[in-house]
Structure 1
Amino acid sequence: MSNRTTLTHFLLLGFSAVCELQILHFVVFLVIYLAALMENLLIILAVALAHHLHTPMYFFLVNLSLIDLGSISVTIPKSMVNSLINSSSISYAGCVTHVFFLIFLMGADFSLLTIMAYDRYVTICQPLHYESVMNRKACVQMVASAWIGGILYSALHTRNTFAVTFCAGNMVDQFFCEIPQLLKLACSNLYLSEIWALIFSACIVLNCFVFIIVSDVQIFNTVLRIVVSLFVCTGIFAYPKPTSSSASGLDLVVAVLYSVVPPMMNPVIYSMRNKEIKSSLRRLSGGRLFTKNYFSVFLE
């Protein structure tokens, strides 16, 4: 411990250092990032410009799109820049920022999915009470609680993670700063508090997941079940497991599944198959943008 030096940066080693593979990584991530940006921005714009879409469900969808925009912007741009400049370095402060915003947005994302499940439950099971239960004030309070809860949740995990002593090097086997990979570098017992916090969080997530399944039992379609299950199961696999138990290749695949895929797929699952959203997008584009291009696949 006396030989410990203060870390000023970490090295993100998630992808290969081979130049050709770095270019491939950049291109793939660029396509995914641009697709996610376009999908989510179009949804926000469509809802904002269509007065008849100013309802609780679409209010929640806009917030989900904002969260998805933020979450995919936390991890992918830095990884693409590192590929372009042939670097794997991220500053200590940058790593702290990565962890805080990723956990914050993931927590807010899942909270909002739970709120949306409750909205659908009230719509189907208590239609006569919908307007009184899901009024403007209640909707704003629920969304605010999701955002604030995500901030508090993230602050807890970020503090626990960076309170430990890192003395096992600065090489992180991931393409972004991920808590389990950072804890592998810890050499103090303080990391145990974060492990228990992650396990407790997994229990909360599972409870929310059960609520989503129960509340959506009559309208739960196959694609929605797959995407939510993917988000929950990969997140639980990545976080509350022993810090040295898995191969880095598997960790990389799991990280892509829970941090990159949901922000790109949520707009397709929750919005672009919705008739009113599709109608608003067609009016927004003059009826041509979504008839002869890539997005027509999702609008059929």
Structure 2
Amino acid sequence: MERTSFRNETRVTHFVLLGLSSNPNLQILFFVVFLAMYLLTIAANLLIVVTIYLDSQLHTPMYFFICNLSFLDLSFSTVTIPRSLANFFSQSKTISFSDCIAQLFFFHFIGGAECFHLSLMAYDRYVAICNPLRYTTIMNRQVCLLLVVSTWVGGFVHAFAQAIPTVQLSFCGPNEIDHYFCDAHPLSLLACSSTFMSKTADLVNSGTLTLGCFIVVFISYVYIISTVLKIHSAEGRKKAFSTCASHLLVVALFFGPSVFTYLRPSVTFAADKLLSIFYNIVTPWLNPFIYSLRNEKVKKSMKKLGGRKVSSLDIFQN
């Protein structure tokens, strides 16, 4: 912290991230678990991205959206986990004010983009099931690209609206954040200026985003389920439901904790940290296994690409 003479007050230039626990044994446990989950998250999501990119048979709207979801997942985890892992064995556990705001911005940027993207994927399933004959016309390549870009733009606007009120707060001590990363709510509790605008922005912006996207997904699936129930073939209904089940599970894992966190600003720090672990670490780790690695087409593509690699190695050795 440094003192500004013209205002005769102390201005915070860095924060201390208290993390999940001060218990050394628990810190070791958290480090091992977080590191394993993070490495698996990166490996699994990169495998999906590479597989979809290399196999032309997977160049369809659904797999294009899955590829973007995997990239969002590995980016979302990377915003917070590497610094958290370093802090487990660091004595200072400090983060500068600018780095803290940057982490907050990118956390909401990627998280907001993922919210919009999951809503987009629900719309894609709605078109595929409710308008199958017009699917390729509606979800053409240009439209898919535009929709994905719009999710990133929406995430950027959300993050900007979230970060600006926090930047305008005055921090003059204490500077200990009872969390493992920088977020608007724990930061607002350390401010020595009025936090009304910051808390209102946090509630309205993040709460409206998560709840609004969830409502879009809910409405989409109301139409989807009503359409599927009209299918006379039991095999057809089963196939339609199977294509949606994975997406519904991913949505529940991501939106459930997010809505609970940002629509309840009075949530305790313990619950806040637990919920954030779920949607920031656990969900990106589970998504590849739920959505893609159980998919028969993706598994066949991975086996085919793996076979090509083995064949090329054999030729090289010979």
Q: What TM-score do the two structures reach when normalised by structure 2?
A: 0.83
Alignment coverage as a number of residue pairs: 286
RMSD: 2.2
Give 3-state SS (helix, strand or coil) of 2:95's partner: strand
Residue 203 of structure 1 and its aligned partner are, at CA, apart by 2.7
C-alpha separation between the residues in 1 aligned to 2:101 and 2:122? 32
Residue 3 of structure 1 and its aligned partner are, at CA, apart by 5.0
What is aligned with 2:253?
230
C-alpha separation between the residues in 2 aligned to 1:129 and 1:118? 14
What is aligned with 2:182?
177
What is aligned with 1:12?
17
- 1:261 corresponds to 2:261: no
Structure number having the greater helix percentage = 2
Give 3-state SS (helix, strand or coil) of 1:177's partner: coil
Residue 161 of structure 1 and its aligned partner are, at CA, apart by 1.1
Give 3-state SS (helix, strand or coil) of 1:174's partner: coil
Taking the TM superposition and a 5 Å limit, the aligned residue runs for 1:66-215 are: 66-189=71-194, 191-201=195-205, 202-215=207-220
**Paired residue type of 1:237:** F
What is aligned with 1:248?
269
C-alpha separation between the residues in 1 aligned to 2:161 and 2:116? 17
> Residues 287 and 174 of structure 1: is their aligned pair in 2 closer, same or farther, counting only changes over 3 Å?
farther
> Residues 31 and 105 of structure 1: is their aligned pair in 2 closer, same or farther, counting only changes over 3 Å?
same
> 1:248-274 CA distances to partner (integer Å, 9 max, x unpaired)?
222211110121122112212221121
C-alpha separation between the residues in 1 aligned to 2:209 and 2:106? 20
In structure 1, stretches of 5+ residues that fail to align are: 290-300
C-alpha separation between the residues in 1 aligned to 2:121 and 2:66? 8
Residue 198 of structure 1 and its aligned partner are, at CA, apart by 2.8
Q: What TM-score do the two structures reach when normalised by structure 1?
A: 0.88
C-alpha separation between the residues in 2 aligned to 1:246 and 1:153? 22
C-alpha separation between the residues in 2 aligned to 1:55 and 1:61? 10
> 1:137-157 CA distances to partner (integer Å, 9 max, x unpaired)?
101110000011111110111
Residue 192 of structure 1 and its aligned partner are, at CA, apart by 1.8
Q: Percent identity?
A: 40
**Paired residue type of 2:112:** G
Does the CA-based 8 Å contact 1:180-1:238 persist in structure 2?
no
Does the CA-based 8 Å contact 2:210-2:258 persist in structure 1?
no
C-alpha separation between the residues in 2 aligned to 1:3 and 1:266? 51
> Residues 284 and 131 of structure 1: is their aligned pair in 2 closer, same or farther, counting only changes over 3 Å?
same
C-alpha separation between the residues in 2 aligned to 1:222 and 1:55? 19
Give 3-state SS (helix, strand or coil) of 1:5's partner: strand
> 1:36-67 CA distances to partner (integer Å, 9 max, x unpaired)?
01110000011011011111111111111111
C-alpha separation between the residues in 2 aligned to 1:196 and 1:240? 11
Tell me which of 24, 29, 50 is aligned to 2:34: 29
C-alpha separation between the residues in 2 aligned to 1:85 and 1:12? 11
> 1:217-251 CA distances to partner (integer Å, 9 max, x unpaired)?
43386664444223223222323434xx3432222
> Residues 250 and 65 of structure 1: is their aligned pair in 2 closer, same or farther, counting only changes over 3 Å?
same
In structure 2, stretches of 5+ residues that fail to align are: 226-240, 311-318
> 1:108-154 CA distances to partner (integer Å, 9 max, x unpaired)?
00111111111110000001111111011101110000011111110
C-alpha separation between the residues in 1 aligned to 2:309 and 2:215? 41
Does the CA-based 8 Å contact 2:117-2:148 persist in structure 1?
yes
Runs of 4+, deviation exceeding 4 Å: 220-224
Task: Name the larger-Rg structure.
Answer: 2
Give 3-state SS (helix, strand or coil) of 1:234's partner: helix
